Amino acid sequence: MSSDDTQGVDDDSTPASAPEIGAVTQVAFEEFGLPPQLMQAIVELGYTHCTPIQAETLPHSLSNYDVTGQAQTGTGKTAAFLITLISHQLEFPLPEAPPNGTPRALVLAPTRELVLQIAQDAEDLTRHSGLKVLSVVGGMDFERQRNVLENERVDILVATPGRLIDFLTRGKLNLRNVEQLVLDEADRMLSMGFIPDVRRIIRQTPPKRRRQTLLFSATFNDEVHRLAEQWTMEPEHVVIEPESVAVDSVEQRIYMVSARSKFALLYNLITTLELDRVLVFANRRDSTRRIYERLKALDVPCDMLSGEIPQSKRISTLEKFREGKIRVLAATDVAGRGLHVEGISHVINYDLPEDPEDYVHRIGRTGRAGAKGISISLLGESDAFLLPEIEALLGSKIDCTQPGEELLVAPKESRVPSDDRPRRRDSGRSGGGRSGGGRPSGRRRA
């Protein structure tokens, strides 16, 4: 179970023992009268007190009320809903084992990384309960997932919408007995075009009056509100403002730099500061690969994480990063909302994200579990216009400075040509190629 927050069970995942966030009064997990099997797991994981969203959510969700929660990554929402699911199943066991492929709880999340993280956190919290957790995602062993659905009991199913639809279509899954439904990062699912699939999935579950629904989203715009109204029944709405998320524990720096000097600044920051666990975000897959290739050519232990990387490779890369075998991990935002690694000291935004919400998610990868973190953004001419929206979301200005000249000295790249160097034009002579060119149960109420 990852350590991923300033206190409490982090999201996001883990319960933590840091005493407080601001002036929020601490609430201990033992105050909720959780089942002993669950409480034993929490204690063994070394956690004691709730994060704000857990303290606000659990009194309602444990009483079987629907909840809509507005909170960023890193606030502990994953454990808030997992504790609810596990408590319900332990307190209200079925008189007989359900048929295989009929989960009692369903968690939908938009990305494979987030699904796998939620499933791991669920495994940690169910270690003494005897409950069975299964993750269902694309890009991984389809046959293994199908065999589990066909031959084993599944109590908590965590899935991405696409792969879940595959199993529903093949008749390997029955959602008619789902008692609890969780929709995590509803805004992300909306922006990624998953809502038609989610609607199809939800129609396979019992009506909302016969299930508990927990919906979490970083933002609640009109579209998310409409979804919440359709899928929940008289929900309790919990809001944790972005200002309380990671900002206090993360020192934010911005360096103004030309596009051609960005890589030099990145390399010199990594080497002169002797960074040993740094996450570098770029907006595009090709930019991410280029950063990885250039750092690797300069003998920096690194790897990359983006949508083009097969899922099995992503998992092994993350394990190497966790173990410290990889010093730098270059990533697109596929890692921004599902990557939970302890001890990330620095997040570097090679590009500012186009969505301000992604900035919060990116910097939330550091400054976790009570530790301090540093985010550094390299602000070029092409993305400077994105800064005002980020500052508006944060509610504060971020100081911009010029890097020292020593940080702009270009490294000697002998094996990989720099993208920043000008290309020679095609001479136009016959037979000549381009020189140096490239391709570009019933509901209960308290």
153's tokens: 């009991």
Which structural domain, as residue segments, surrounds residue 142?
Answer: 29-241
Q: How confident is the model at residue 254 (pLDDT cuts 50, 70, 90)?
A: very high
pLDDT beyond 90 at 183: yes
Q: Please give the average per-residue pLDDT across 97-109, as a whole number.
A: 94
Exposure string for 397-408, b = 16+ CB within 10 A, e = fewer: eeeeeebeeebb
Indicate if 46 and 188 belong to the same structural domain: yes
351-408 per-position pLDDT tens digit = 999 988 888 888 888 876 667 889 999 999 888 899 999 988 888 889 899 999 999 9
The verdict on residue 1 lying in a domain is no
Provide the pLDDT for residue 264: 95
- Are both 296 and 346 inside the same structural domain? yes
| Residue ending a domain, choose from 217, 241, 265 | 241
91 and 125 co-located in one domain: yes
What is the model's pLDDT at position 1?
46
- Give yes or no for a contact between 118 and 77, defined as CB atoms under 8 angstroms apart: no
Nearest Cα to Cα of residue 155 among 171, 179, 128:
179
Q: Do residues 45 and 191 both lie within one domain? A: yes
Residues 57 and 79 in one domain: yes
Q: Which is more confidently placed, 54 or 340?
A: 54
Residues 222 and 255 in one domain: no
Judge if 186 and 260 occupy the same domain.
no
d(CA 350, CA 266): 8
Residues 6+ apart with CB under 8 A from 19: 7, 26, 49
Regarding whether 342 and 224 lie in a shared domain, the answer is: no
Q: Does position 181 have pLDDT exceeding 80, yes or no?
A: yes
The two tokens of residue 33 are 């009268």
The answer to whether residue 33 scores a pLDDT higher than 50 is yes
pLDDT above 80 (res 316): yes
The answer as to whether 283 is a domain residue is yes
Residue type for position 226 = R
Cα torsion 314, 316, 317, 323 to 10°: value is 150
Quick one: pLDDT at residue 435?
35
Q: Mark whether 208 and 60 lie in a shared domain.
A: yes
Give me the chain's average pLDDT, please.
83
**DSSP string for residues in 176-190:** TT--EEEE-SHHHHH
Judge if 220 and 368 occupy the same domain.
no
Q: What is the DSSP string of 91-106?
A: HS--SSPPPTT--SEE
How far apart CA 233 and CA 359 sit, in angstroms, is: 32
Q: Are residues 190 and 104 in the same domain?
A: yes
